[in-house]
Structure 1
Amino acid sequence: MENFVVSARKYRPSDFKSVVGQQHITTTLKNAIKNNHLAQAFLFCGPRGVGKTTCARILAKTINCQNQTADYEACNTCDSCLAFNNNNSFNVHELDAASNNSVDDIRNLVEQVRYPPQQGQYKVYIIDEVHMLSSNAFNAFLKTLEEPPKYAIFILATTEKHKIIPTILSRCQIFDFNRIQIKDIGEHLKYIASEEKIEFEEEALRLIASKADGALRDALSMFDLIVTYSAGNKLTYLDTINNLHILDYDYYFKVVDALLEESIAKTLLIFDEILKKGFDGQNFVTGLSEHFRDLMVCKDPQMISLLEVSESAKERYVAQSKQASLSFILSALNICNYSEIHYKASKNQRLHVELALMKLAKLPQAISLAALAQEDSKKKA
């Protein structure tokens, strides 16, 4: 029986063009290789799961490639590339600073730097989670980082740039990695699903991409989990919301419809059903705020591009936004925001949310009365 390989490893990019959502980084690195403007120390910083270590490895492989392609990618066929792909390259050294953060660990690394590569042009040192190095270890590293041998290149990676001392930052060329866009993650998941011959619903992939919060590795882990749950044949929206414990947006449409009808009974019954399914009151209020935000976006055709949902869901948002006035949506956002801020301090959290929902249900009436009062004052004037 063949061992299962998680998607994050199986589909890890092996060249710059396959890196997802970091074109500003990959273009700069390829131009540096093309023009022979390689710095000797790089700092890759950004959130988890966005490709920092992957880009460091691709850079290390590419600069030692013996037959670079016309667009300055690694050939993946020469001895150097094959050795790298098989994890037995003597020119690439990786150090996990989370578990090797002492002065002695850095001294051992500095000692290794003294010896030139036996084969290839560069020796590359990738130090992951570099912010975990102790203050003394940083200081022991300073001189080598400032004046390394010509064949040595250091690539430091971190999720917490602010923890790195300024003297290290000043010696590095800094690259800031972005959170990956929902659209880019969704497209990559589509590619993997087609490669694995898995049927999928686009709304399910969009939900995974949204839940990942810009981290592609998180999205791939969730993707593997849901594929396993569905016996590996089809990935559905229903399986996704059940597995990730996400409240179906259909509930928010029902709640807003009940609020526009000014029906307190309907609204509270829907909220009770949500609680019985095991969802937290604060998560519900947060989701309702996001729903009102999406309705507000739909009020202006120029802003609809800010709505990151499927086409079928977009039609529902546009239709519901036409039923609600902008005054109602803005007032609702204000009430939801207040409820979210004070949720944890409340002694009776269920009642706290129910009071907010009751206020929301009476908003249309309050807005109408305010409009009538304004008209009366104008007539008297």
Structure 2
Amino acid sequence: MQYKALYREHRPEIFSEILGQDHIVKILRNQIATDTVGHAYLFCGTRGTGKTTTARILAKALNCTDESGGEKPCGQCANCQAISNGSFMDVIEIDAASNNGVDNIRELRESVKYPPSIGRKKVYIIDEVHMLSTQAFNALLKTLEEPPENVVFIMATTDPQKLPQTVLSRCMRLDFKRVTADVIMGNMADICAGQGVEITDDALRLLAVNADGSVRDSLSLLEQCLSAGEKRLDRDTVLEFLGAVPEEFYLELTEKVLTHNISEALIMLNSALQEGKDVKQMMKDWMAHYRNLLITKYVKDPEDMLNMSQDNIVALADQSAKIELAQLNASITTLAKAINDARYSTQARILMEVVIVDLATGVEYGQPAGQARPARVMSTGSPAISMPARKSAPAQKPKATSQPDAGAKPSSAGADAGADQAQTVGNDAGSDVQPQTSAQPQTTAQPQTTADSAADLEDIWREAFEMGETVKPSLNTMRRAVLSEMNDKEFKVIVDSPVFKSLLEKDEQLICQLMEKQTGVRRRMVCKLKGQEADKDEDGKLDEMAQQATDVLGFNVEIK
């Protein structure tokens, strides 16, 4: 007999065998018993929760020939067996991922006109229905709204938000929940008992956590462990087969970081990688460890939330007591950024090592040592975006900006209050009272334009391309550009290669949208090569000199 995978061998055949979806089973059972089955269903939920399996069981119930008066489907009659084997003519399964064109839907529309050949109902199961094209959905609408009397549509999807509203409104939507860890553990324990394998609760809990609510994933992981032929499975054995790292590793690694023992932490990482562990998975698990520390810090009895042994929970509680909330938040944020960067990097190990060093030294990830991340200040009233100027110290008062010239006659308002106002201009930038003198006073504080402004622009640009990479991976070309200037109408980026310049200009609309999300203002992009920008700066200086000469001499001056 041909070998079947565990998830196929233990696939439910009747309603009572479905795991963790009692709310859906109750609805379908009642509709079968009262003969009020709808003409179109939409099964939504994450992978491995039983959408396709439930669709097949519903098809069996509609065509079951059992007359004993028991619950349908019986799972034993000829029709139920044929549907299980995939040989029943009146149950048609369609993979919308590979049959997503309008021509495929037109063929379906033609086939629904014919009555069932064997059973009472003709059932169409359309899997991954969100993959259909817009034209295919439009072609399906009329048939979906008014199908023939003996036709039932059952559509399954993991992304219901991608379906048109016109399709959603024509279906009965049933949402499949993630199956709880306790239900998954009980199912795996029964399978292991049936195969004569002893498995510990800790091993079951570890498999259930890694399955993340998916019954199919849990059985695939269990099959991987059973394939070794072991008669007893404990937590350490499962960790070895899964290539995962135990919780104790992250407890010790975090302790090294807290005590600033960078050397030992890096050695621990190297040892784990030499054992064949996946560095990207380690980054995710380490962030999950910091999340567990956050939970144990505030939840009194976190056993149900964490799904781990009591010994590990006690160790987590002890470690979380040593960490301040701000440090926990910073660690989780740092790891989240590193995980995002590792998605498109071939050197994920280096990123992990950088994270260890940054967390141990307090340096912010992605920033030079000793440099704090600057606060972003948006100023919509000024022509450029920059950091606000710091207030001058009391000793740094404006030099004679409000003092009238010796030979000039002060105005009536400026003569009386000039001295007092000269003292308040430097310290009170919000004052509306200004001295009237023959010379124009300089009462406006100048913003800083060196380190603060450059750091602020760099911060805005970095957040824009990080967001862009999640939308369109090819936008990582933004990393090769530098945001040099920004005003209320445009922002200027500098690149050092014509190739990257053309790639950025190709994605100009998307980049402008990303910058609008960061700054709140829609601007156009100006992209320049590095050499071109230098030439333009030189020309601007010459033009400025010519204008100054024109103002002094009284006639037009041109510098060639």
Q: Return the TM-score normalized by structure 1.
A: 0.83
Identity %: 37
| Cα offsets for 1:2-43 (capped at 9, x unmatched) | 321101110000011111121121111112222332110001
Distance 1:133 1:215 in 2: 25
Distance 1:182 1:330 in 2: 29
Opposite residue 209 of structure 2, the aligned amino acid is: S
Distance 2:150 2:303 in 1: 51
Instruction: Kindly indicate whether residue 212 of structure 2 is the aligned counterpart of residue 213 of structure 1.
Output: yes
Distance 2:269 2:351 in 1: 13
* Pairwise CA distance, 1:297: 2.8
Name the counterpart of 1:372: none
* Structure 1 unaligned regions, length at least 5: 361-381
* Pairwise CA distance, 1:174: 0.9
Name the counterpart of 2:317: 321
Mapped contact 1:252–1:288 kept (Cα < 8 A): yes
Query: Which residue, out of 329, 332, 335, partners 1:334?
Result: 329
Residues 68, 176 of structure 1: alpha-carbon distance in 2 compared, 3 angstrom cutoff? farther
| Cα offsets for 1:185-213 (capped at 9, x unmatched) | 22211111112222223322222222222
Query: For 1:127, what is the secondary structure of its paired residue?
Result: strand
Query: For 2:286, what is the secondary structure of its paired residue?
Result: helix
Instruction: Kindly indicate whether residue 98 of structure 2 is the aligned counterpart of residue 99 of structure 1.
Output: yes
Query: Which residue, out of 354, 357, 370, partners 1:355?
Result: 357
* Pairwise CA distance, 1:71: 6.9
Name the counterpart of 1:132: 131
**Bigger mean CA offset, 263-272 vs 90-99:** 263-272
Q: How does 1:1-381 map to 2 (within 5 A)?
A: 2-67=1-66, 72-228=71-227, 230-231=228-229, 233-258=231-256, 266-279=264-277, 283-299=281-297, 300-309=299-308, 313-322=309-318, 324-325=320-321, 328=323, 330-343=325-338, 344=341, 349-359=351-361
* Pairwise CA distance, 1:147: 0.6
* Structure 2 unaligned regions, length at least 5: 363-560
Mapped contact 1:255–1:267 kept (Cα < 8 A): yes
Number of residue-to-residue matches in the alignment: 354
Distance 1:282 1:227 in 2: 26
**Bigger mean CA offset, 70-79 vs 98-107:** 70-79
Distance 1:263 1:31 in 2: 63
RMSD of the alignment, in Å? 2.7
Q: Return the TM-score normalized by structure 2.
A: 0.58
Query: For 1:295, what is the secondary structure of its paired residue?
Result: helix
Mapped contact 2:292–2:316 kept (Cα < 8 A): no
Between the two structures, name the one with larger relative contact order (CA 8 Å, sep ≥ 6): 1
Query: For 1:44, what is the secondary structure of its paired residue?
Result: strand
Opposite residue 183 of structure 1, the aligned amino acid is: D
Mapped contact 2:259–2:360 kept (Cα < 8 A): no
Query: For 2:196, what is the secondary structure of its paired residue?
Result: coil
Distance 2:331 2:315 in 1: 22
Mapped contact 2:260–2:361 kept (Cα < 8 A): no
Mapped contact 1:264–1:357 kept (Cα < 8 A): no
Distance 1:220 1:126 in 2: 24
Mapped contact 1:281–1:349 kept (Cα < 8 A): no
Opposite residue 335 of structure 2, the aligned amino acid is: E
